[in-house]
């Protein structure tokens, strides 16, 4: 995509779970959802061909595989297929404390802590959907429907444990 001047956050979703519990699973399920809905069916469902890529968070290892996804949307200009928009779907950069155990404090109250005795953090409190601006206006109808569908998938994940759940 050409040089974008700024990024607009379109929507965000607060993760109601402890960061260690479901964050990795949520991101992997959203990636699978986007691969199917946008990568494989983008042209049929939204009228635009799309590619879905993982956004690396720069850490090594399976547990820190991704911090989000990038959806590249293509359209036709002057008879040629060109990139018209990017949709960035990732965890924000807020550092969230993580805990792996409960221990009694000196006054007998239970407190969250880590077995290592160190403060540990994971990046991302909110799942944010954003895009660079300006964009080609022909992407707007597809973006609007994509975000509605993605929000529904996020709600299904938090309600049923899978973005592929059918609530009927």
Per-domain boundaries in the chain: 6-96+124-160
Average pLDDT over residues 36-41: 95
Report whether pLDDT(24) > 90: no
131, 87 in Cβ contact below 8 A?
yes
Q: Is 119 helix (H, G, I), strand (E, B) or coil?
A: coil
**Distance in angstroms (rounded) separating the CA atoms of residues 162 and 168:** 14
Indicate the average pLDDT of the chain: 83
Has this prediction a pTM greater than 0.85? no
Position 122 pLDDT exceeds 80: no
Q: How far is 91 from 27, CA to CA, in rounded Å?
A: 9
Structure tokens at 142: 């597809």
Calculate what percentage of the chain has a pLDDT beyond 70: 85
From 74, 89, 86, select the one nearest 133 (Cα to Cα). 86
In tens, the pLDDT along 98-119 reads 888 888 888 989 888 888 888 8
């Amino acid at each position: 995509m050409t040089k974008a001047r700024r990024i607009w956050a379109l929507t965000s979703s607060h993760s109601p779970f402890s960061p260690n519990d479901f964050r990795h699973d949520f991101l992997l399920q959203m990636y699978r959802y986007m691969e199917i809905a946008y990568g494989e069916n983008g042209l049929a469902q939204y009228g635009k061909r799309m590619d879905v890529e993982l956004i690396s968070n720069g850490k090594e290892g399976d547990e820190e595989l991704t911090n989000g996804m990038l959806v590249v949307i293509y359209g036709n200009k002057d008879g040629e297929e060109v990139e018209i928009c990017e949709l960035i779907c990732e965890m924000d950069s807020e550092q969230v404390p993580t805990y792996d155990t409960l221990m009694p404090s000196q006054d007998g109250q239970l407190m969250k802590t880590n077995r290592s005795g160190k403060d540990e953090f994971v990046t991302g409190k909110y799942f944010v959907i954003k895009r660079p601006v300006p964009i080609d206006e022909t992407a707007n109808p597809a973006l609007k429907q994509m975000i509605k569908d993605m929000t529904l998938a996020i709600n299904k994940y938090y309600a049923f444990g899978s973005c592929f759940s059918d609530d009927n």
